[in-house]
Amino acid sequence: MEEPIVDQELFGRFKKCAVEVLSVSEDQVVPEARFGDDLDADSLDLVELVMALEEEFDISVPEQELEGISTVGEAYELVAGKV
């Protein structure tokens, strides 16, 4: 079960980063989308995405916290919890 996305403003900023870094359309960036299978993103893409999110939200995401993150929803929750 994905957590419901409550803050549309925050998710909009998250989505903008993903669209830019991963070269995907806005429609693809939905909570259940898997980075590997659905967004064609490999591990280096995710490093770049995390950098963009850290800049956008002025947060820090240590590498170990990314373990087990495989969907947009999971990544969003991780970010939202730090903002």
Partner 1 sequence: MNPQGRRVAVTGLGVVAPCGIGRDDYWRGLLGPGITAGKATEVADWDPSPWYSSPKEARRADRVEQFAIAAATEAFTQAGDPNGGLGVDPARFGTIFATGVGGLHTLEEQVEVRMTKGERRVSPFLVPMMMANAAGAAISMRWGLQGPNETIATACAAGTHAIGNAARLIAWGRCDAVATGGAESSATVTALAGFANMTALTSTGISRPFDVDRDGFVMGEGSAVLILEEWEHASTRGARILGEIVGAASNADAHHITAPSPGGVGAAACMRLALEDAGMTPADIAQVNAHGTSTPLNDAAEAEAARDVFGDDGPPVTSIKGVTGHPLGAAGALEAAAVLLSFEHRLIPPTANTKVVGLGIDVVTGDAREWEPGPTMSNNFGFGGHNGTVIISPPR
Q: Per rule CB under 8 A, is residue 48 in the interface with partner 1?
A: yes
Q: Per rule CB under 8 A, is residue 47 in the interface with partner 1?
A: yes
Side-chain-side CA neighbours of 77 within 13 Å: the count stands at 15
Number of residues engaging partner 1 in binding (CB under 8 A): 10
Q: Per rule CB under 8 A, is residue 23 in the interface with partner 1?
A: yes
Angle subtended at Cα 63 by Cα 32 and Cα 83, rounded to the nearest 5 degrees:
65
Shortest Cβ distance from residue 11 to partner 1 (Å)? Answer: 21
Length of the chain: 83
Q: Which is nearer to partner 1, 6 or 44 (CB)?
A: 44
- Residues marked active site are found at 42
